[in-house]
Structure formats: structure tokens, C-alpha cells
Amino acid sequence: MPNLSFAETDQKNSPIICDDAIVRVHRSGIIELWDDNAVQMFGFAAEEAIGKSLDLIIPEKLRERHWKGWSYVVEQGVTGFNSDRTLTVPALRRNGSQIVVVFNMDIIRNHSGNIDAIKVVFRDIRKQP
């Protein structure tokens, strides 16, 4: 699968770089895609993250709450945190430190309309202007 980091061009043809991390998570909570920006943001290589639970980056004290929300999204097929609304939460890095990220989610459905996965876009708020 190609790298999903974004590099776009504005009207003057100068590059605009997006540092957002894109992570695809199977409906079961297992990471399926971990782009280069996720590597930079969270410190885990793609090989360390893909195939692992999203718990990899969720602080332990927030996991129960997270999985209740995740189950609701998967069962109901709706999320309140799409491109129009984000959520700010702490996240774990490989070295054990925490960062604060803003994220939104898009539900990915298969050809039958069933939920296959969820694409999560993370932004490290330390890097915001």
C-alpha cells in the first residue's frame, strides 16, 4: 500500500506538507495501516504497530472508555468525530511519554455496506501554529 502522507501543491506550485498521521484500524481494533507520519508522531515503526491493538497508543486509564466508544461506532455505524468535529486526547509514544493529539475518524465500509475499518487522522497539537 502506498505511503498515505500528504504532499500537496498550492496555486504557486510550492509544496504544502501535512504532518497528520493516518492510521487504518480494523473494526476489531487491530491496526492495519500505519503511515510514515504515525511513525514520526508515535515512535513505533510500521512493523511494530501493524497487527497490534490500538491500545498501543491509548493510555491505560482511558482504554475502557475508548473501547466503549469504539464499540458504539462499530455497532451503530456513526461517529461524532468526523471531519467536522474532532476530539482531543492524550496518546502514548513508544518511549512511554504522552502527547496530546486531535483526531477525527471516517468509517470505511465494504461493498455490502458493512463496516470494515475506521480511518483515524491524528494531529499532534504541539506542532500547531
In a domain, 104, yes or no: yes
In a domain, 70, yes or no: yes
pLDDT digits (tens, 9 = 90+) for 38-88: 999 999 999 999 999 999 999 999 999 999 999 999 998 887 766 666 788
> Which pLDDT value is given to residue 25?
97
> Which pLDDT value is given to residue 129?
52
In a domain, 30, yes or no: yes
In a domain, 12, yes or no: no
- Render the chain in DSSP notation, one character per residue: -----EEEE-TT--EEEE--EEEEEETTSBEEEE-HHHHHHH---HHHHTTSBGGGGS-GGGHHHHHHHHHHHHHH---S-STT--EEEEEE-TTS-EEEEEEEEEEEE-TTS-EEEEEEEEEEGGG--
> Which pLDDT value is given to residue 16?
45
List the CATH number of the domain containing 78: 3.30.450.20
> Which pLDDT value is given to residue 86?
75
pLDDT band at 8 (very low <50, low <70, confident <90, very high): very low
In a domain, 41, yes or no: yes
> Which pLDDT value is given to residue 1?
37
> Which pLDDT value is given to residue 82?
62
- Is a pLDDT exceeding 60 seen at residue 27? yes
Long-range Cβ contact pairs of 85-89 (< 8 A, separation 24 or more): 88/125, 89/62
- Give this prediction's pTM: 0.81
Structural domain boundaries, residue 107: 19-122
In a domain, 10, yes or no: no
In a domain, 7, yes or no: no
- Residue written as cell 496518546? 91
Q: How many domains does the chain have?
A: 1
In a domain, 71, yes or no: yes
